[in-house]
Amino acid sequence: MEAAHAVILSVDDDRDILEIVRITLGTAGYEVITAENGEDALRLAVKNRPSLVLLDAMMPGMDGYAVATEMLSIPDLQGTPIVFLTALTGEHDRQSAFAAGAVDYVTKPFAGNTLVAAVERHLNTGARFAAIGTSRTGWTERVTPADFATFKETLVAELGEQAAPAVTAVVPATIYSLAESTGVGEARIAELVARFFGVGFLPRVISSEIQLGVLPTPFCRTNLVVPINNQAVGAAFVVANPFNWDLIDTLERASGTDSYTLLVASPGTIRDVFEREAPSERGTLLTIDPEAVGLRAGAPRPGARELGMRPPAFLADHALAAAEADGASDIEFEPKAEGVSVGYRIDDVVHEAFMVSHEQTSMALSRFKALAGLDINERRRSQRGAFEVVIAGARYAVRVTTAASAYGEAMSLRLIRADVPPKTSADLGMLPEQAEMLASCLAARQGLIIVAAPPRSGKTTTAYTVLSMLGPSGRRITTAESPIEFRVPFTHQQSVDEPNGATYPSVISSIISQEPDVLFVGEIRDAESARSILRFDETGLAIATITASNATSAISALEALGIARPRLAASLLCLVGVRIAPLPCPECSSPRTLTVEEQAMLSPFGVTPDVQVADPAGCTTCRGTGSRGRTGIFEVFVLTDALREQIASGATPAEIRSTLQDADTKILGSVALEALTAGRLTVEAALAAGLADDQEILAGRIALASATHNPEATSILLVDDAEDNRELLQSTLTSAGLSVSIARNGVEAVRLLERGTFDLVLSDLRMPLMDGFGLLNETARNFSVPLVIYSASTDPADEVRALMAGALDFFHVPVRREILLARVRHALATAGDMRTYAKSS
**Which residues contribute to the site for Zn ion (CB under 5 A)?**
585, 587-588, 619, 622
Please, what is the minimum distance in Å from the beta carbon of residue 329 to Zn ion? 18
Query: Which amino acid is residue 785, in one-letter code?
Result: V
Distance CA 747, CA 754 (A): 11
Residues making up the chain, counted from first to last: 841
User: Please, which residue, 588 or 702, has the CB nearer to Zn ion?
Assistant: 588
User: Please, which residue, 491 or 589, has the CB nearer to Zn ion?
Assistant: 589
User: Please, which residue, 328 or 716, has the CB nearer to Zn ion?
Assistant: 328
The per-type count for the chain, helices as H runs and strands as E runs, is 33, 30
Side-chain-facing half-sphere of 657: CA atoms under 13 Å: 34
Taking alpha carbons only, the member of 253, 212, 296 closest to residue 127 is 253
Please, what is the minimum distance in Å from the beta carbon of residue 729 to Zn ion? 36
User: Please, which residue, 466 or 588, has the CB nearer to Zn ion?
Assistant: 588
DSSP 288-347: E-GGGGT--TTSPPP-HHHHHHS-HHHHHHHHHHHHHHTT-SEEEEEEETTEEEEEEEET
Distance CA 682, CA 627 (A): 9
Distance CA 295, CA 325 (A): 9
User: Please, which residue, 588 or 647, has the CB nearer to Zn ion?
Assistant: 588
Q: What is the dihedral of CA 309, 310, 311, 312, to 10 degrees?
A: -90
Please, what is the minimum distance in Å from the beta carbon of residue 235 to Zn ion? 57
Query: Which amino acid is residue 101, in one-letter code?
Result: G
Please, what is the minimum distance in Å from the beta carbon of residue 349 to Zn ion? 12
User: Please, which residue, 559 or 587, has the CB nearer to Zn ion?
Assistant: 587
User: Please, which residue, 526 or 615, has the CB nearer to Zn ion?
Assistant: 615
> Torsions phi, psi of 791, nearest 5?
-160, 150
Please, what is the minimum distance in Å from the beta carbon of residue 750 to Zn ion? 35
Distance CA 383, CA 395 (A): 23
Please, what is the minimum distance in Å from the beta carbon of residue 585 to Zn ion? 3
Side-chain-facing half-sphere of 503: CA atoms under 13 Å: 8
Please, what is the minimum distance in Å from the beta carbon of residue 686 to Zn ion? 18
User: Please, which residue, 363 or 619, has the CB nearer to Zn ion?
Assistant: 619
> Torsions phi, psi of 451, nearest 5?
-110, 120
CB atoms < 10 A from the CB of 299, how many? 9
Q: How far is CA 398 from CA 155, 422, 748, 782, in A?
A: 51, 17, 29, 35
Distance CA 1, CA 217 (A): 20
Side-chain-facing half-sphere of 541: CA atoms under 13 Å: 21
The three-state secondary structure class of 715 is strand
User: Please, which residue, 322 or 588, has the CB nearer to Zn ion?
Assistant: 588
User: Please, which residue, 586 or 768, has the CB nearer to Zn ion?
Assistant: 586
User: Please, which residue, 116 or 622, has the CB nearer to Zn ion?
Assistant: 622
User: Please, which residue, 93 or 347, has the CB nearer to Zn ion?
Assistant: 347
User: Please, which residue, 410 or 622, has the CB nearer to Zn ion?
Assistant: 622
Please, what is the minimum distance in Å from the beta carbon of residue 350 to Zn ion? 18
Taking alpha carbons only, the member of 635, 580, 633, 569 closest to residue 437 is 635
Please, what is the minimum distance in Å from the beta carbon of residue 615 to Zn ion? 11
On whether the CB atoms of residues 754 and 702 are closer than 8 A, the answer is no
Which pairing describes strands 787-791 and 760-764: parallel, antiparallel, or unpaired?
parallel
Please, what is the minimum distance in Å from the beta carbon of residue 625 to Zn ion? 7
Please, what is the minimum distance in Å from the beta carbon of residue 343 to Zn ion? 20
Please, what is the minimum distance in Å from the beta carbon of residue 614 to Zn ion? 11
User: Please, which residue, 126 or 582, has the CB nearer to Zn ion?
Assistant: 582
Distance CA 307, CA 281 (A): 30
Taking alpha carbons only, the member of 484, 279, 504 closest to residue 397 is 484
Q: How far is CA 726 from CA 682, 717, 744, in A?
A: 25, 11, 9
Q: How far is CA 547 from CA 450, 451, 577, in A?
A: 10, 9, 10
Please, what is the minimum distance in Å from the beta carbon of residue 300 to Zn ion? 23
User: Please, which residue, 492 or 628, has the CB nearer to Zn ion?
Assistant: 628
Query: Which amino acid is residue 279, in one-letter code?
Result: P
On whether the CB atoms of residues 175 and 197 are closer than 8 A, the answer is no
On whether the CB atoms of residues 385 and 369 are closer than 8 A, the answer is yes
CB atoms < 10 A from the CB of 156, how many? 16
Distance CA 32, CA 106 (A): 17
Burial of 701 (0-12, 13-18, 19+ CB in 10 A): middle
Please, what is the minimum distance in Å from the beta carbon of residue 620 to Zn ion? 7
The three-state secondary structure class of 597 is helix
User: Please, which residue, 585 or 831, has the CB nearer to Zn ion?
Assistant: 585
Hey, which bits of 216-291 come out as E strands? 225-230, 234-239, 261-264, 286-288
User: Please, which residue, 225 or 588, has the CB nearer to Zn ion?
Assistant: 588
Please, what is the minimum distance in Å from the beta carbon of residue 681 to Zn ion? 15
On whether the CB atoms of residues 690 and 624 are closer than 8 A, the answer is no
Please, what is the minimum distance in Å from the beta carbon of residue 628 to Zn ion? 6
Please, what is the minimum distance in Å from the beta carbon of residue 346 to Zn ion? 12
All residues at 6 or more sequence positions from 131 whose CB lies less than 8 Å from its CB, including other chains: none
Give the helix ranges, DSSP H, for 350-424. 358-371
Please, what is the minimum distance in Å from the beta carbon of residue 678 to Zn ion? 19
Taking alpha carbons only, the member of 417, 454, 673, 407 closest to residue 548 is 454
Distance CA 736, CA 714 (A): 10
User: Please, which residue, 522 or 626, has the CB nearer to Zn ion?
Assistant: 626
